[in-house]
Each structure stands twice: as structure tokens, then as C-alpha cells.
Amino acid sequence: MNIDFLSIHDALRSISPYIHKTPMVYSNSFSKMFDAEVYIKAENLQKTGSFKVRGAFNKLMKFKTDKVIAASMGNHAQGVAFAAAGLGIKAKIVMPLTASIVKQEATKGYGAEVVLHGETFSDALNYAISQNDYTFIHAFDDEDIIAGQGTIGLEIINELQDIDVILVPVGGGGLISGISIAVKELSHKTEVIGIQTVSATSAYDSYHAKEIAERIPQPTLADGIAVGRIGDKTFEIMQKYVDDIIKVSEESIAMSVLLFLERKKLVVEGAGAVPLAALIEQKERFEGKRIVLVVSGGNIDFTLIDRIIHKGLVSSGRIGVFKVIVDDVPGGLHRITGIIAAQRGNILNVVHDRLSQDVPIGKTMVIFTVETKGAVHLEEIISAIRESGFRILQ
């Protein structure tokens, strides 16, 4: 394999005129929350809203062609489209039918022709590869792409010393492969750890089994890393340079998107939020360490963001949903709402259900949606209702 530290160094020199040197942001709030020293490498502020332009420019600048084709769920599509437009190259992008409409339109906006094909990324990939009249640009399993993404690692190490851990989102493995090569050359003691969602685990399973494992991705908030099979090249690099890969839940991803909005005023897509989700789920592992979160992108689908925020609020206990069995008589509901008010909870919604099988005659089940200060406050409200003699179903 020809990719090494020198090729990443050369890539940074080549692409620097075309990209942003994204900021490294110290987060006081995250540092206090997780008892660590937490920095954010904000690639969500990169051109096109994702790190993908780095690899795209590095690849397209390496050879002479007038037509390129790529397959992508969205961020690679935008990166290739943007880079091709900047270099005067015609681009065709194949996306699965399930790709975000927002990302489809953004890709068209950068001047590329968008073709929708298949239900999965694999379907789109196979179709793109079959188009022999175009030069194919792989999303991650390509040495020039990997070298371009690795420039993030150079920027991180050049700006911050004595880093204990760098947490990196992993889909096909191009980003973490490039970063790990650069980081291990300059800071051998720094751990590079990949993060996947439990809904798409090819990299996780492959890394730990030490052989490539193909997995069908399930629906996920982190669509940017919903890849069914990591690359051959990236697998080899990850086995050599990456220290670990861990999985995080969809609930933690939603909570992380919400935390980025609330605490840092940053719009972060699900894939970019998985490093923070790892801190949420494995806080003890990272306590006391100097940590960099690679926030890979900010191209969130705003038609889904309200659901993501709501899921994050529920996961953190900021919104609680519980059921109470109440006497179906005047004043029964008023007693419970009074208890919630006394506990300073804010009732968002109330639904009556008299027809469920577990509701006795003369009773009603009331489903409350309540805004709280957090999980502890929610439990205080529920305990107060239960102590007043009401039966609660959760």
C-alpha cells in the first residue's frame, strides 16, 4: 500500500487553497460534564459541511479526467460535486432512494447530476462502478481519498499536544484510516478510537474479528456512517493503527445532537455526533484525559431534526412519558396535575385511554408527557404521584 505519512503531508499542501482549516474548539461545558479535557475538531464547519471535500480534492487533483462518478449517502456526494465544480470536471452522483432529500438537493446545488438507484448504499455503489464511461471515485477505499482525510490528523496534532485520545466516527473507514496514520507518526502514544452506531457495525465487527464482516445497516440517525462493508484498504490500515472501535446507541446519538445544539450552538449530524455519544456511554473510560472529538459533519436533515431533538430530550429525561391509572370521576385528573405542578413539572400533553385491557371498569389510564429538568427531576415527579396512592405504568 502506497499511503503513508508523507502522502498525507503532501495532500495537505495540495488541498489547503481549496478547503477550510477548521477550528479546534475547547469545550468547557463538555469538559465539566465528563470530567475530562474535551476539544472539538469542527469539520461540520468545513466547506459543504463535511470533511469529505478533503479527500475529494486530493483525488481529483491527482489525475486528468473530464467526467467522474461517485456513490454516496450524501456527504461524499457533496464533496465530489463541490471539488469537481472547482476543478472544472463534470460529476455524476449515484445515491440510494433512501438518501436524504436535503443532501440530494445540496449535491445538485453544487452542480452535479444526481441519479437515484437502489435502496441501499451498496446498490448505489455497484451501479456507479458499472458506469464505464466515467472515472469512479470511491467514498473511502482509495489511497488518495484516505490521504486527504488524514490531513485532519495533521491539523489536530499540529495544534494540540499531549492528546490522550482522538474519537473518530467510522463508516467505511476512510476518515479514521487517514487520521490514524498521521497521528501515530507524530504522537505514537495518542489513542485513535473509532465509533460506530449499533445500527451499522461492519467496522466494529471486522476490527474485533480481524476479518472483514459485511452487515446490513439498520435505520439510523447516523446515516452518514451507515455502510454495510468497510473497505479492504481501510480494514488493513485500521488493524495496524487503530486502537479500538466501540459502538453507541441511537438514544445516545440523539442526546449528543441535542447537546451540541444546546451547549455549543453547533449543528451536528448524527454521524458527527457519535464521538460525544461515546463519552456519554463510557464516561469512566475517558475521565481525566485530554480528548479530541472529530465532528465529521453538520449536514443534518432538518425534516428530522425535531424528532431527533425530541428523542434526545426523552433519552436525557428532559421529557418524560408515563401512564397513571385514575378513578374515572370528576376531580381525579385534577389531583395528579396538582402533584405535577407542585413538583414544578410542565405538562405538555394529556391523553385518556379507557379501552385498554389492563384498565378496570370505572378507571381511566391517563398518559402524561411532561417537561422536566432531567432524569432525577422526572423520577421525583413519578415518586410523588406514586406516594399519593396512584398506580403508574411506564
Overall size of the chain counted in residues:
394
Q: Is the pLDDT of residue 356 over 80?
A: no
pLDDT digits (tens, 9 = 90+) for 84-121: 999 999 999 999 888 778 788 889 999 999 999 998 87
SS (H, E, C) 256-277: HHHHHHHHHCCCCCHHHHHHHH
327 with 381: CB under 8 angstroms?
Answer: no
* Nine-digit cell string for 274: 457519535
| pLDDT band (50, 70, 90) for residue 328 | confident
Q: Is the pLDDT of residue 10 over 90?
A: yes
Q: Is the pLDDT of residue 237 over 80?
A: yes
* Nine-digit cell string for 339: 402533584
Q: Is 371 exposed, middle or buried (0-12, 13-18, 19+ CB in 10 A)?
A: middle
Taking each helix axis from N to C terminus, what angle separates 5-15 and 143-159, rounded to the nearest 10 degrees? 80
pLDDT digits (tens, 9 = 90+) for 154-213: 999 999 999 999 999 999 999 999 999 999 999 999 999 999 999 999 999 999 999 999
**What pLDDT shows up at residue 81?**
94
Tell me the average pLDDT of the chain: 92
Backbone φ and ψ for 308, nearest 5 degrees, come out as: -65, -45
Of the listed ranges 44-48, 112-116, 322-326, the one predicted with least confidence: 322-326
pLDDT digits (tens, 9 = 90+) for 258-270: 999 989 999 999 9
Sign of the C-alpha dihedral computed for residues 157, 290, 199 and 82 taken in this order: negative
% of the chain at pLDDT higher than 90: 72
Q: What is the pTM of this model?
A: 0.86
pLDDT digits (tens, 9 = 90+) for 119-146: 887 888 899 999 988 999 999 999 999 9
269 with 46: CB under 8 angstroms?
Answer: no
* Closest-CA residue to 120 (of 232, 51, 258, 223): 223
**What pLDDT shows up at residue 141?**
94
Buried b (16+ CB within 10 A) or exposed e, 255-278: bbbbbbbeebebbbbbbbbbbbbb
Of the listed ranges 35-39, 72-76, 160-164, 275-279, the one predicted with least confidence: 72-76
